[in-house]
Copies of this chain bind each other. A is one copy, B any other.
């Protein structure tokens, strides 16, 4: 196995070498390239390449699929930014802001088909299972986004419903990336399914950690302004957990939700979370899902070196709050 950073560099280079038509079609494809070149951790293609290497010592064979999974992820970002009316992402204007909503919709649609085409660059023998995995994770992502949009107007979201939502929005794509990489590496159907579980559990751990950092993280290392979720009354793990307790603190939180957005609201809500012990609960949940992710890898036929590589990946992704 290579170092994690070496897989992400491989992915980054392949993504940057994608060339698309220009000319009269500049308006369709320039936003695709712009979206793809936003950088970021390249987590999904990195995981896909790692899984292919772990099972088949063939990260190179998986490079198109790695680009495909990142293309899919960026398609969802283009459309999410239209739906959320977001103007900035990773320090740059979104496609929706730099061009317009119609361009973001149409270029996003194009990215979904381009992603499928990239995903199809696998051997005939695994074409169907790879595409079945790709399509079913896509459906789960849309379902997760639908649940998330529905949560905006609700205050009765249960923890189970929250977990169901992030399984779709975050877990399914990581699960799909790990499973597709495993399939390309020649893993058995059982091992590929376990790798799906690995990605899914990793995704849940990662999302809860991300929710934690949005309130209690360090603005310099987190990369986003702290308190954004609180100001948007977002149904995060923290909020859902705190509201579900049903004690006087939950009542206080419900009142705080009506405060206007601003540093005051962030301070009040953070304080309630701290009083309720939410930060420690978050960390325990992140640890629990990380353990489940590791257990899934251990249930495969992979050896110690590969297990260790995936353990490091979990650590890298969920260790930010420590």
Contact = CB atoms under 8 A, between A and B. Distances in A.
Interface residues of A, number: 36
Interface stretch (A128-136, A223-231, A248-256, A303-311): A128-136
Interface stretch (A143-151, A180-188, A195-203): A143-151
Interface of A is mostly: helix
A219 interface: no
A110 B25 contact: no
A189 interface: no
Given A116-B135, A131-B120, A142 B27 contact: no
A99 to B, nearest CB: 11
Interface of A: 24-25, 27-28, 79, 82-83, 101-102, 105-106, 108-110, 112-114, 116-117, 120, 124, 127-128, 131-132, 135, 138-139, 142-143, 145-147, 149-150, 161
A110 B136 CA distance: 11
B24 A142 contact: no
Contact of A79 (B109, B147, B149, B161): B109
Contact of A113 (B108, B120, B142): B142
Most buried by B among A27, A28, A108: A28
Contacts of A145: 106
A109 B24 contact: no
Given A106-B79, A128-B124, A131-B131, A146 B116 contact: no
Contacts of A132: 120
Contact of A128 (B79, B120, B143, B146): B120
A131 B161 CA distance: 35
Nearest to A108: B109
A139 B116 contact: no
A109 B142 contact: yes
Nearest to A72: B113
Nearest to A102: B83
Most buried by B among A113, A117, A139: A113
A52 B165 CA distance: 41
Contacts of A83: 102, 105-106
Given A25-B147, A79-B109, A106-B149, 20 more contacts: A24-B146, A24-B147, A28-B143, A28-B146, A79-B106, A83-B102, A102-B149, A105-B105, A106-B142, A106-B145, A106-B146, A110-B142, A112-B112, A113-B138, A116-B116, A117-B135, A120-B128, A120-B131, A127-B127, A127-B128
Given A113-B135, A120-B131, A120-B132, A28 B142 contact: yes
